[in-house]
Each structure stands twice: as structure tokens, then as C-alpha cells.
């Protein structure tokens, strides 16, 4: 049995995903957030865009759908 939250299968959520370009096949895949705190203001976080790109590629290769979420850099 596959357990999913009701919110994940709501019509409005699925409509938003379709508007973002997800296919019907993608709708059935796990959605995974990739939180990225990259910043051009702090050199110690400037490399995180490249790491996020690699992480998203690997999520796709493993059968998931990645969504990048931006966050403030901690410094």
C-alpha cells in the first residue's frame, strides 16, 4: 500500500505541478526539496549552486523530481 498525504494529491496541488511543467508520469514520482543557501555576497557559499545542480541530477537519475528551494545564507 502506498501512503500519501491528502494535500499531495489535492487537485490544486496537482494543478500547480502541471503549471510548473510536470508530466503525468512525474506526478507519481517522489518530490524532493533541495535547499540551497548559495550567496554571491559570501564566498564560502558561492559554490553551492554547482552542488545543488549535481544533487538535482542525481535525484532525477534515481527516479525523483527535485525542487530547489532558496534559503538565506547563514553568515
Residue boundaries of the structural domains of the chain: 24-75
Nearest to 33 by CA among 64, 7, 5, 9: 64
Nearest to 38 by CA among 50, 21, 54: 50
* pTM for the whole structure: 0.78
Q: CB of 49 within 8 A of CB of 36?
A: yes
- pLDDT tens, per residue, the chain with 75 residues: 455 565 667 888 888 888 989 998 998 899 999 999 988 888 888 899 999 999 999 999 999 999 999 988 776
Interacting residues of 74 by C-beta distance below 8 A, sequence separation 6+ = 37
Half-sphere exposure of 66 (CA within 13 A, CB side): 17
Residue where the block lists cell 507519481: 28
Amino acid at each position: 500500500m502506498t501512503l500519501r498525504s491528502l494535500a499531495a494529491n489535492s487537485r490544486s496541488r496537482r494543478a500547480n505541478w502541471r503549471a510548473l511543467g510536470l508530466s503525468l508520469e512525474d506526478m507519481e514520482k517522489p518530490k524532493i526539496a533541495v535547499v540551497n543557501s548559495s550567496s554571491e555576497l559570501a564566498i564560502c557559499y558561492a559554490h553551492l549552486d554547482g552542488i545543488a545542480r549535481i544533487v538535482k541530477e542525481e535525484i532525477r537519475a534515481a527516479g525523483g523530481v527535485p525542487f530547489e528551494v532558496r534559503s538565506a545564507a547563514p553568515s
